[in-house]
Chain A
């Protein structure tokens, strides 16, 4: 199945804001609001940080926000902190074939 497309890496200085894009098709992101984002630190399991495009689960910092426009979803991290350095993956439900697809992953580096 074709993965959703994310930039391989994004970096920023502490306190800055960064945005990670996630591009799919009209069969997934473009047609459903079932876009989620996961944060993964080295050696750890992924952690859900955004669900249904823009919902933050309880306990997730409000520095994380999500949005969607057309076939592209975005994750914004504001007030970048050292602890935000991790890999980030988007995911979407799709209508046929492989029902759930993940993004290619983005490594966030805090300079």
Chain B
């Protein structure tokens, strides 16, 4: 079955960087667009970015452009999110999600990123 497992979250100081990973299994990873979505604890969902199946098409939420970079390695069935210049307000659970027809049918369990001094 489809499985998405995020990792790489943790505590980081403001201004720091972090790289999240998402390991995919149970499907042909290279066939699907993927997204990162985050959720501040107790708050709503916020879409961050998507990447096409071959990595040639990428887009970001306006508020994330310039600080976050999405990438993928289809040979490793893995999705990544590089986050720089982190702010306290970036504290959230970060989910990776498989996309289909502009929906998000499959989600990982999420990884918590805490930005604090």
Chain A residues packing against B (C-beta within 8 Å): 1, 3, 32, 34, 36, 38, 45-48, 51-52, 57, 89, 91, 93, 97-105
Q: Is the CB of A3 within 8 A of B44?
A: yes
Within 8 Å CB of B59, what residues of A?
99
Number of A-B contacts (CB under 8 A): 65
The answer to whether A45 and B95 touch (CB under 8 A), given A91-B104, A93-B102, A100-B35, is yes
Beta-carbon contacts under 8 Å, B82-104 to A: 95, 100-104
17 sample A-B contacts, Cβ–Cβ < 8 Å, listed by A number: A1-B61, A32-B102, A34-B103, A38-B104, A45-B95, A45-B109, A48-B103, A48-B105, A51-B105, A52-B103, A91-B104, A99-B59, A100-B35, A100-B47, A100-B61, A101-B47, A102-B46
Chain B residues packing against A (C-beta within 8 Å): 35, 43-47, 50, 59, 61-63, 95, 100-110
Q: Is the CB of B61 within 8 A of A34?
A: no
Q: Is the CB of A98 within 8 A of B104?
A: no
B47 touches which of A32, A45, A102 (Cβ 8 Å): A102
Within 8 Å CB of A36, what residues of B?
102-104
Q: Is the CB of A100 within 8 A of B44?
A: no
Residue of B nearest to A92 (CB): B102
Within 8 Å CB of A47, what residues of B?
107
A102 touches which of B45, B100, B108 (Cβ 8 Å): B45
Within 8 Å CB of A103, what residues of B?
44
Q: Is the CB of B50 within 8 A of A99?
A: yes
A98 touches which of B45, B62, B110 (Cβ 8 Å): B62
Q: In the complex, how many angstroms separate the beta carbon of B94 from the nearest chain A beta carbon?
A: 11
The answer to whether A102 and B103 touch (CB under 8 A), given A1-B63, A45-B110, A97-B62, is no
Q: Is the CB of B63 within 8 A of A102?
A: no
